[in-house]
């Protein structure tokens, strides 16, 4: 749909023009959102994001501007930005994040500040940093499997993946992690 077509349709009925825009670009927007959110969002979250994108397009698109050509670029930009925002919101508080300075971790350490306790803290800090460097979803898979003792099926449900994909990614992530730790002269 071009800018001129949308403007003409909206002069007769804004609702009809918006419906035409939705019908024409729904698959395009859904593809963008699904490719960004499939690893961290439920189907409902994806559909809600698509709806929000069209609401943004309807509210922000200025049909009075003198533009020509296809409006898919504008719609694609809105879709990419909104889906990126949703991705950040969903992964910011993911279950795979562990605070290094967590009070619960301190209760397991020795009461006095011995050199051994300090070494353990540094080792844990280095290990968490290396795991975080693996990126998503690998870092979440490693943390869920080895820190929270979840199996591949449970992790797959959390990340909207198959258990086989989780096992494969876990194996590859462990190899990467071992290389990173070797580079830092750390052996476990």
75-92 pLDDT per residue, tens = 888 899 999 888 888 887
CB atoms inside a 10 Å sphere around CB 96: 21
One domain for residues 86 and 11: yes
Nearest alpha carbon to residue 45 among 86, 77, 96: 86
Residue 106 structure tokens = 């301190």
pTM confidence score: 0.47
Residue 188 domain-assigned (yes or no):
no
Give the residue numbers spanning the domain of 127.
103-183
* Same domain as 135, residue 65: no
In a domain, 97, yes or no: no
The last residue of one of the domains, among 42, 60, 92, is 92
Q: How many domains does the chain have?
A: 2
pLDDT class of 49 with cuts at 50, 70, 90: very high
Same domain (yes/no): 15, 86: yes
Query: Do 84 and 7 belong to one domain?
Result: yes
């Amino acid at each position: 749909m071009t800018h001129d077509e949308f403007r003409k349709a909206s002069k007769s009925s804004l609702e009809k023009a918006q419906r035409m825009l939705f019908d024409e670009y729904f698959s395009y927007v859904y593809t963008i959102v699904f490719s960004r959110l499939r690893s961290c969002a439920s189907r409902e979250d994806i559909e809600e994001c698509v709806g929000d994108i069209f609401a943004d397009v309807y509210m922000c698109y200025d049909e009075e501007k003198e533009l020509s050509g296809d409006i898919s670029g504008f719609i694609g930009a809105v879709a990419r930005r909104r889906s990126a925002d949703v991705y950040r919101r969903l992964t910011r508080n993911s279950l795979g994040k562990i605070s290094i300075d967590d009070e619960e971790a301190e209760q397991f350490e020795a009461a006095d500040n011995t050199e051994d306790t300090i070494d353990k803290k540094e080792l844990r800090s280095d290990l968490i940093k290396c795991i975080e460097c693996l990126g998503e979803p690998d870092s979440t898979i490693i943390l869920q499997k080895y820190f929270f003792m979840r199996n591949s099926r449970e992790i797959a449900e959390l990340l909207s993946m198959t258990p086989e994909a989780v096992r494969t990614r876990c194996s590859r992530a462990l190899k990467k992690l071992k290389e990173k730790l070797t580079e830092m002269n750390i052996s476990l």
